[in-house]
Structure 1
Amino acid sequence: MSTPSLVDLIELGAVQDAQGLQGQIKIRPHAADPVTLLSSKEVWLSLIPRRGAGVCDSHAQALLTLYQVRQAKMHSGTVVMTLDGVTDRDQAEALKGARILVGRDVFPKIDKDSYYWVDLIGCTAVNLQEEVLGEVIDITENGAHGVIAIGDSETKTVKQLVPFVKSVVQNVDLAHKRITLDWQLDW
């Protein structure tokens, strides 16, 4: 199998530590409900630090490694995973810090008005007056709804936190990486 492009992979978590003596890894998932991570039959690991929304050079591309997943389960807020070829604690510890990625094709198809959060990161946010609010740099869940962090992608400075609800989000145009919000610059 050829190594996919990072554009075709979605980061779901990072290896936090080794778990036990048999080579299991403890993963800190990016989602509160890591259903895709728990059900994946194979994952790609990358020890390259994150450089931004899918942008990576050819050297980093070559360092992706595919692993078959033997088992994955939740344990105290983390995912404990057993990978083929990782059989002892030393091998598992060597993977500490690795990013866990899966193919976009593993994710189920979504409805018209639903979005994978990873696709919203990097979108330019504008208001109804066509004023640029900034770029979506992060998305979190607060229990009632999602919250998008808008700011400067270079410095990762958050300027505004905006609820991701229908009354505020007027349009999402993923093809043009643009989100129109009923929101003001000074809110």
Structure 2
Amino acid sequence: MNAPDVGQRMITVGRLHGAFGVRGELKLESFTAPENAILRYQPWTLRDAQGRERMVEGARGRAGAKGLVVTIPGIEGRDAAEAMRGTEILVPRSALPPPAPGEYYWVDLEGLRVRNVEGVDFGVVSHLFSTGANDVLVARGDRERMVPFVEPDYIRSVDFDAGLVTVDWDADF
């Protein structure tokens, strides 16, 4: 399987949750594993709730009790940090390392067609989410179907060249 052409597609890798202390530090929820890997994928594009974007580089961070605590150049004081609440952190998909064999970035699966082993078209991968027990692939077509992302039990194959995920899942379920 070849990786998809990811180009400069931007993906969300974290979210700022407001001020930490009074010196401009911020609470950061990282969507990377391990969570501090987000610091390696700079520069970041910061997107606020109104959709305005700006690029920053040189953010530093440390582990906090409930996630990362970061400093971002240009953010001084509690009020400036609090104004960043809800800001998303985006990076180009190409900044991330290639996934290990048999592993996938969820963003790479989004948009692929989903068909079951009987040839029934389920639509396209809308998104994935984690239940704790396993990840779940959500396919949207004539209706929404949720398929446990368990290989090879339910996810039989992922073919990026064909743009297709083949699943062993009952079309009526």
Superposition TM-score, scaled by structure 1 size:
0.73
Contact preservation (8 Å) 2:30, 2:36: no
1:36 aligns with 2:37: yes
**Is the contact between residue 126 and residue 181 of structure 1 (CA under 8 Å) also seen in structure 2?**
yes
CA pair 175-93 structure 1, distance change in 2 beyond 3 A: farther
| Secondary structure in 2 matching 1:170 | strand
Work out the CA distance in 2 between the residues paired with 1:18 and 1:90: 8
- Structure 2 residues not aligned, in runs of 5+: 1-6
Identity, % of aligned pairs? 25
Note the alpha carbon deviations across 1:109-142, whole angstroms, 9 max, x for none: 2344321111112322210122122432332334
Question: What is the aligned length?
Answer: 167
What is the CA distance between 1:36 and its match in structure 2? Answer: 2.7
| Distance in 2, Cα, partners of 1:82 & 1:175 | 41
For the pair 1:146 / 2:135, whether they are aligned, the reply is yes
Structure 1 CA distance, aligned partners of 2:34 and 2:149? 20
Q: What are the within-5 Å matches in structure 2 for residues 1-187 of structure 1?
A: 7-31=8-32, 33-48=34-49, 63-143=52-132, 145-151=134-140, 159-187=145-173
Which stretch has the larger CA shift, 141-150 or 119-128?
141-150
Are 1:17 and 1:26, in contact at CA under 8 Å, matched by a contact in 2?
A: yes
Question: Do 1:40 and 1:69's aligned partners in 2 also have CA atoms closer than 8 Å?
Answer: no
In structure 1, the gaps of 5 or more residues are 1-5, 50-59
Structure-1 separation of matches of 2:119 and 2:54? 43
CA distance in 2, matches of 1:23, 1:158: 43
Residue 173 of structure 1: how far off its partner (Å): 2.6
Q: How big is the alpha-carbon RMSD for the aligned residues of Structure 1 and Structure 2?
A: 2.8
- Residue-by-residue CA offset, 1:93-116 (whole Å, 9 max, x unaligned): 222221111232331123443211
